[in-house]
């Protein structure tokens, strides 16, 4: 039943029923949070046995006899570098391990670029009259917050089904030398769930950029975060960049935040040796090394990348029913109404939903007033402004199934109400 | 036997005996490292039972029911903030906990000041034609490396027995508004062992500064790192600053690196609420929180500041014999020679030794050639240049007693040889 095809009378009748539904929700005093992509408690329990290490074996020395408890190893524990370089499909000389937050590593990469430039920069980015970044959107609000903080102008790029709009990216990057970078979440993208196609990866790696020190910030946050048995495959961008003659173009980021613990994972950064060496020099002035006991803990818990893949199947088993329920409610409540469309991701942490233009903020506000917190409308766009006001990011991972069901029912009610009002012009 | 009072013949005879001693050392192929203030293995063992937590109790929730394993708590775990704010004698709203490295927190504080300014800055420091820092010296080479990296001009300030030369500091700070800060290690200073007197603390807190956003970088690295039963007392500088009407003047740094593990401690920063709030906002963009499992681990291991003090007595029991041996060898080998003087610290990680002017680099080089690595001569001064070429930093904590004895004997031989040569004018 296409809502746009209803008569004004029918719409008003619907609206009256929906409003009663909404008021009923509201009276229940719900307090549900679907705003952030946080793992749920069952997911956190999957990794607690990691915390027994390395105490259980009382072995704190690496193969090279360095004591992980002491100072040193600026770029990380060699054994952990080996494990995670396999995960990222790079060599051990192309990776740096940090503490618990890949977001920090991205922030620091931007901060260093501004203050010192990246490897090969003619000058620090902060000396330029203007620095711009390409921002495929909807995207990750925290990327945009970093960019905004450093006064980097953000250019919104449309997300398509196989990645960002490459025609526009190629055109802009080639003609404007103040465009220094692009934010990408190339696999199970936040929030669209899109995995970049091989063609998109190759075009990003090979395109001409007016800035000689252009960098792709490749936030591979969901590298092994599959929801199906047929995971998406992402082409190795570091290899693609090398092949295209732009070996230093990409900064790859990842972490175990959503593999082990968001609070106590291991963050990592991969890039060309030239980039890594430049960064290691600066890191060596900033710190005498990251938390290597925690890195050892990870290596003891995960013997190899395959054991990480196996572990991720347990996460998927917890998350799959949640995603399925969200999709089934969306299908049954909105499937034939023609007032919203949504993603069906093969992995990652989000479902991206587009309402009719101009409806998203009203929906989020309404849901909030009934006790369901969603990611603020607009947050997935640069400067928090969704030009169409239509994108809503649904984060199904944290709430228990029962709560998620309630929250989704409410969300669908809100979407229908706001859409009906819009169609009525009220 | 004052070496300066020996005849040339006597000096030559001595030199010949010493040179044989040196050659004997050299032929042994020693490989000893006294270059850095690293805890030794026995010290690391003191804290290993901390690593049993929180796994042992399987309790990952805070009093406020937040899960430490998940995202959140940008400024640290509330329970850990409570513990460490007591240690630093500040309130829980005046502290931020980080990951394992206080050096990183200092680097980040400088980096933020350059890019954004500190709370109340008229503009970011990087916009100014020149930024200068006062650097009491000998001091900590890693402080100076950060300052140099950010192109901040360093002004060497003489260290006296009760802290840095306040007359000079007051004069310079009052007249030059490009002087934005000062590095201080106020307790058991690196390397001199000096603890700042109450008068020095008060003068730093109260002095007039031409820059309205002047900051004291107060690296309280050795806050509980006593070597005697009568520990030095350091006046609370945050209180002193408040009393003097300069509440925002100080950034205090500390960590558990040399309490628990250098690789996996908890770093902390304390300051006025205005400073802390400005920093928290920026930290919230950089990360979704530090490693709170590790903070919980610390809180479970140390119930209160007193248990930290008790724990530090175990460290002292390991370190005291090392310091005593170093001092006794210095006394017996150089005590009456009038060619060197050295500190007798009540705490901290170093003994600072001054040779005759112009001798330190030759001594360090000679010791190195016989297999004993010392901190490079000059490292304790800005730009690595000791104007007198006389300061040597002795780090007795890492080597086992037997090795330390050998290294010290060799060092004394080298000092005598280089001094004799100098007196002979050869």
The per-residue pLDDT for range B287-296, each reduced to its tens digit, is 999 999 999 9
β-strand pairing of B153-160 with B132-137: parallel
Contact state of B51 with A55 under an 8 Å Cβ cutoff:
yes
Which part of chain B has CATH 3.40.640.10? 62-303
Q: Phi/psi class of residue A154: alpha, beta or left (left: φ > 0; alpha: ψ in -120 to 50)?
A: beta
Q: Which CATH class for the B3-44+309-424 domain?
A: alpha beta
Q: Which of A42, A52, A70, A127 to mutate to test the interface with B (most CBs of B within 10 A)?
A: A70
pLDDT at A19: 97
Nearest Cα of chain A lies from the Cα of B16 at a distance, in angstroms, of: 40
Question: Across chain B, what does the average pLDDT equal?
Answer: 96
- Residue A415: left (phi > 0), alpha (psi -120 to 50), or beta? alpha
Q: CATH 3.40.640.10 spans which residues of chain A?
A: 61-302
Beta strand A215-219 pairing with A250-255? parallel
| Contacts with A264 from chain B: Cβ below 8 Å | 69, 291-294
Residues in A touching B36 (Cβ below 8 Å): 71
Distance CA A13, CA B94 (A): 57
Three-state DSSP at A180 gives strand
pLDDT in tens, B51-68: 999 999 888 988 877 899
Q: Given this model, what pLDDT does residue B375 score?
A: 93
Comparing CB atoms, the residue among A261, A286, A291 nearest residue B103 is A286
Query: Residues with Cβ < 8 Å from A339, sequence gap 6 or more?
Result: A3, A4, A355, A356, A415, A416, A419
Average pLDDT over residues B400-408: 94
CB spacing of A290 vs B48 below 8 angstroms? no
DSSP letter at B39 equals: P
**B261-274 tens-digit pLDDT:** 999 999 999 999 99
pLDDT digits (tens, 9 = 90+) for A26-46: 999 889 888 889 999 999 999
Give me the residue from A104, A257, A285 closest to B149, CB to CB. A285
**pLDDT on residue B1:** 80
In angstroms, what separates the C-alpha of B62 from chain A's closest C-alpha? 13
pLDDT at site B25 = 93
Q: Is the pLDDT of residue A64 over 80?
A: no
Distance of CA A78 to the CA centre of its chain: 27
Q: What is the mean pLDDT of residues A193-201?
A: 98
A1, pLDDT greater than 90: no
A220-249 pLDDT, tens digit each: 999 999 999 999 999 999 999 999 999 999
Residue range A374-388, pLDDT digits in tens: 999 999 999 999 999
Contact B289 A263 (CB under 8 A): yes
- Distance between CA A150 and CA A114 in Å, rounded? 8
Lowest mean pLDDT among A87-96, A415-424, B27-36: B27-36
Question: What is the predicted pLDDT for the residue at B331?
Answer: 98
A48/B58 Cβ within 8 A: yes
| List of chain B residues whose C-beta atoms are within 8 Å of the C-beta of residue A149 | 282, 285
pLDDT grade for A371, boundaries at 50, 70 and 90: very high
Residues carrying CATH 3.90.1150.10, chain B: 3-44+309-424
pLDDT at B403: 93
Check A107 against B145: CB less than 8 A apart.
no
- CB of A21 closer than 8 Å to CB of A413: yes
CA-based nearest distance B7→chain A, Å: 48
Please tell me the predicted confidence (pLDDT) of residue A426. Answer: 80
pLDDT of residue B65: 78
CB contact under 8 A, A264 and B111: no
3.40.605.10, 3.30.360.10, 3.40.640.10, 3.40.50.720: CATH of B62-303: 3.40.640.10
Option in B39, B67, B100 nearest A99 (CB): B100
Task: Give pLDDT, residue B141.
Answer: 96
Are B142 and A285 a contacting pair at CB < 8 A?
yes
Q: Which fold has domain A61-302?
A: 3.40.640
Residue A299 Cα, gap to closest chain B Cα (Å): 16
Q: What is the pLDDT of residue B385?
A: 96
pLDDT-based confidence at residue B426 (cuts at 50, 70, 90)? confident
| Contacts B100 to A, Cβ<8 Å | 99, 287, 289-291
- Which of B55, B67, B289 is opposite residue A44, by nearest beta carbon? B67
Tens digits of residue pLDDT in B111-147 = 999 999 999 999 999 999 999 999 999 999 999 999 9
3-state secondary structure of B201: helix
Q: How far apart are CA B229 and CA B346, in angstroms?
A: 9
Q: What is the pTM of this model?
A: 0.97
User: What whole-number percentage of chain A has pLDDT above 70?
Assistant: 100
Residues A135-162 have a mean pLDDT of 98
**Contact (Cβ atoms closer than 8 angstroms) between residue B335 and residue B418:** no
Of A39, A49, A263, the CB nearest to B292: A263
Among A54, A72, A291, the residue with its CB nearest the CB of B294 is A291
Q: Which tens digit of pLDDT belongs to each residue from B230-255?
A: 999 999 999 999 999 999 999 999 99
Q: What is the pLDDT of residues A90-143, one digit of tens each?
A: 999 999 999 999 999 999 999 999 999 999 999 999 999 999 999 999 999 999
**pLDDT tens by residue, B163-202:** 999 999 999 999 999 999 999 999 999 999 999 999 999 9
Size of the A and B interface in Cβ pairs below 8 Å? 159
Closest Cα in chain B to A294: B264
């Amino acid at each position: 039943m296409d809502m746009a095809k209803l008569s004004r009378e029918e719409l008003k009748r619907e609206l009256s029923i929906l409003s009663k539904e909404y008021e009923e929700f509201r009276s229940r005093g719900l307090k549900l949070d679907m705003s952030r992509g946080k793992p749920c408690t069952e997911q956190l329990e999957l990794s607690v046995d990691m915390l027994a290490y390395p105490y259980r074996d009382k072995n704190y020395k690496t193969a090279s006899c360095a004591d992980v408890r002491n100072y040193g190893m600026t770029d990380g524990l060699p054994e952990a570098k080996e494990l995670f370089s396999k995960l990222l499909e790079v060599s051990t000389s192309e990776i740096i391990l940090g503490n618990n937050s890949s977001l920090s590593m991205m922030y620091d990469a931007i901060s260093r670029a501004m203050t010192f430039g990246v490897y090969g920069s003619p000058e620090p980015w902060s000396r330029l009259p203007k620095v711009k970044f390409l921002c495929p959107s909807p995207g990750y609000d925290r990327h945009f917050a970093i960019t905004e903080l450093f006064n980097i102008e953000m250019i919104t790029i449309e997300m398509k089904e196989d990645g960002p709009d490459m025609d526009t990216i190629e055109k802009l990057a080639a003609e404007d030398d103040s465009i220094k970078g692009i934010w990408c979440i190339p696999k199970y993208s936040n929030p669209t769930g899109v995995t970049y196609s091989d063609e998109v990866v190759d075009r990003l790696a090979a395109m001409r950029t007016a800035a000689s020190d252009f960098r792709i910030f490749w936030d591979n946050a969901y590298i092994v975060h599959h929801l199906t048995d047929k995971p998406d495959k992402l082409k190795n961008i570091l290899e693609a960049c090398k092949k295209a003659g732009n070996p230093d173009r990409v900064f790859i980021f990842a972490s175990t935040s959503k593999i082990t613990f968001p609070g106590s994972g291991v963050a990592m950064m991969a890039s060309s040796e030239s980039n890594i060496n430049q960064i290691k020099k600066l890191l060596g002035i900033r710190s005498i090394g990251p938390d290597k006991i925690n890195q050892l803990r990870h290596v003891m818990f995960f013997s190899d990348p395959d054991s990480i893949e196996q572990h991720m199947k347990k996460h998927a088993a917890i998350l799959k029913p949640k995603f399925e329920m969200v999709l089934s409610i969306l299908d049954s409540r909105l499937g034939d109404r023609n007032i919203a469309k949504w993603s069906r991701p093969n992995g990652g942490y989000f479902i991206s939903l587009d309402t009719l233009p101009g409806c998203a903020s009203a929906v989020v506000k309404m849901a909030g007033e009934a006790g369901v917190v969603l990611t603020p409308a607009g947050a997935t766009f640069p400067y928090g402004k969704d030009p169409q006001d239509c994108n809503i990011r649904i984060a199904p991972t944290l709430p228990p199934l029962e709560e998620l069901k309630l929250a989704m029912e409410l969300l669908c009610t809100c979407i229908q109400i706001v859409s009906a009002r819009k169609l009525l012009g009220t």
